[in-house]
Structure 1
């Protein structure tokens, strides 16, 4: 059943059906209809994590000073005008509110219809509140942050019963530079205000915000390039100027690459970097001047690669080689791909990875594009035809204690199979 279409036609009846579905699922009985997969998977996570479905839980609000600090530090501040322009004028008329939360689920901004804002106070949805899924259950802020895709939650699709009079639609906002989650934008209101087009509307505005972030990044690289040009003109050998996140502004003496894999929190001094080898890193304007040593680092050799998937939304890969070590934070897609290669060391073709990821071996274009991006930072440690980790590398895989917490955003058939069946209450 398409619950959003059903709810649009008869919200009261849809809410009653969902209440019966929720009650049956939580008691282990037979539900009149199956919940949507994204909701059922979220409920399963809530059962495993021990969220109380009958009583809401409210963690302490962040102090006002901490909320202000997070607002100033967040990339969301740069796109707040886009979100307001795209959502608030309609939200106020439709008796909705806009909620903007950071990557940790903390509500930073909350604006819109005054009567609905007062109702939201009753749910504890206030600036500084913690709306992670594992804290307040299935909701339009926490669930999109876990799944990394837009989610609408209607009435008793909320895991906690006290939220059943509410409807919300949220979409993640990711940093276009590296795919990291920077926050979630959500539109919420009383259940009778639900419309099936709300989710597409919110997702479209979230994508406009991401486009704005891309535009701002291009402008910052142009400014850095203007500073870098005279510096590189005086330098012999191989050198590259990058921004603080490793994105290339200008190069000399070497092929152009979009990005250099700088460890997060890099400082000036000697470094060993993938694809470049031994380097010296120096500050330059709002970025780094990276001077490569005359001779490049050798091939893969006896490297140790540690793929850490234990913490949701904090996946990383560490490479330890004779010349040094480095850590790279992984996007959800790259975490999936590297996991699939780690558990299938003999390698996979593009068609094989497409089948593993999407259940469709024909989606090779997407796979090849993503693997090309992976090879930019893994370099010689990743071979192709088929795609695989280099033979001499030792690969260590660190997984969550509970298999059900493995890459929760992933819809890959292989990943789902390794999670095992969902528990029942």
Structure 2
């Protein structure tokens, strides 16, 4: 046999040597005999997890989220909007390197996990699956949990993991922040067998995280511009001071005052009077994709008329009339179905009842809740929930096609088909 060492053999030898050195360093540090300290980020993490009582020799398995809670977190996570960016930029490289791509929320809960099937099976044996908690107090030092604490990209290689059973893994994670205010949204991570990890992976993950944050920033700008266009004619009709803001309080337009960048809205704003810092007594009215804030004055009545126009196939729209005039919001086919079902059942509907109306299956309530969460974000204040209905004081009106067969003609929802006279349950 030749005594020459191939590049692959050398790489594997170096990896094994590094793993042995890190394992020896870990054992010495844990026993208090270490003359050499680990990297600063790892040393700080080991100190934290020892203080949390994490067992260095055994996994601590936590029960993952149930399906309903996992789906709710996925549906309401701002990171769902950047999944296509993460898939395109990171998943091919992860697959090629026999790794997996993981996205967590700010609580360290795994929301999405994709990539190499064999590595996914390995991860599952370690309790590394969707819905699992991957924070430091639960699983010890790891790239996801440590990046959440350090608020910066982190690589954790082999025996740098605090728990011994994770030493065959290497992972690189970067935090994802809301570019508007710096709020931590979660992490994106690439993990896999330690022997196959590439040194450039951390740089790649960090770059993709920045790319995803850029996508979030662009989406925010687009949404504010859309709201600005909608709000402009409404603001022009107002005598006095008023602001148009998105659901998070970012200002899209103003009349009668110099606009601030952002207004501090309540966590769950509702139409009607409220008091706001810097502005005092105000009145909140819904706009598509945000709120109209009237500053000062007496309480203004809520909008009373919400007209759902379904007369033209493929052009469903909701027109809301209020004290400041009216505005119209175009509807997707699914949102048109939901509003039609709510308008024809004004007494209120549960998620399970709407699931039967939409899919003929009450077990798909999680899907309905996710869809209604998106709809309520566009139509803030017009819809109430738990159970679902139009908000108090708003009487929905329907404008239907003269031919019942043309009512949302492409819909296969049982509730809509029954309204077209095609049979099937309507309740």
Q: Name the TM-score class by shorter chain.
A: 0.5 to 0.7
Native 8 Å contact 1:8 1:196 kept in 2: no
Report the 3-state secondary structure (helix = DSSP H, G, I; strand = E; otherwise coil) of the residue aligned with 1:141.
Answer: helix
How far 1:89 moved relative to its partner? 0.9
Native 8 Å contact 2:54 2:137 kept in 1: yes
* 1:42-91 superposed Cα distances (whole Å, 9 cap, x missing partner): 11110111111111111012222332222222111111111111111111
1:154 matches 2:157: yes
* 1:89-138 superposed Cα distances (whole Å, 9 cap, x missing partner): 11111111101111221111111112211111121111111111111111
How far 1:222 moved relative to its partner? 1.3
Q: Could you tell me which residue of structure 1 aligns to residue 332 of structure 2?
A: none
1:46 matches 2:49: yes
1:172 matches 2:175: yes
Distance 2:147 2:289 in 1: 33
Q: Could you tell me which residue of structure 2 aligns to residue 215 of structure 1?
A: 218
Distance 2:296 2:287 in 1: 18
Runs of 4+ in 1 over 4 A off after TM superposition: none
Q: Could you tell me which residue of structure 2 aligns to residue 264 of structure 1?
A: 267
Report the 3-state secondary structure (helix = DSSP H, G, I; strand = E; otherwise coil) of the residue aligned with 1:279.
Answer: strand
Q: Could you tell me which residue of structure 2 aligns to residue 228 of structure 1?
A: 231
Native 8 Å contact 2:29 2:37 kept in 1: no
- Aligned alpha-carbon RMSD (Å): 1.9
Distance 2:278 2:148 in 1: 32
How far 1:9 moved relative to its partner? 8.6
Q: Could you tell me which residue of structure 1 aligns to residue 38 of structure 2?
A: 35
How far 1:172 moved relative to its partner? 0.9
Distance 1:61 1:88 in 2: 24
* 1:293-324 superposed Cα distances (whole Å, 9 cap, x missing partner): 28xxxxxxxxxxxxxxxxxxxxxxxxxxxxxx
How far 1:286 moved relative to its partner? 2.1
* 1:191-245 superposed Cα distances (whole Å, 9 cap, x missing partner): 1122221111001111111111111111111111111111111112221110110
**Greater relative contact order, per chain length (Cα 8 Å cut-off, separation 6+):** 1
Distance 1:92 1:60 in 2: 28
Q: Could you tell me which residue of structure 2 aligns to residue 12 of structure 1?
A: 16
**Structure 1 residues 132-141 or 65-74, which shifts more?**
65-74
Residue 104 (structure 1) aligned to one of 102, 107, 110: 107
Superposition pairs for residues 323-402 of structure 1, below 5 Å? none
Structure with max Cα Rg: 2
Native 8 Å contact 2:101 2:114 kept in 1: yes
How many residues matched?
A: 288
Report the 3-state secondary structure (helix = DSSP H, G, I; strand = E; otherwise coil) of the residue aligned with 2:143.
Answer: coil
Change (3 A) 1:9 1:199: farther
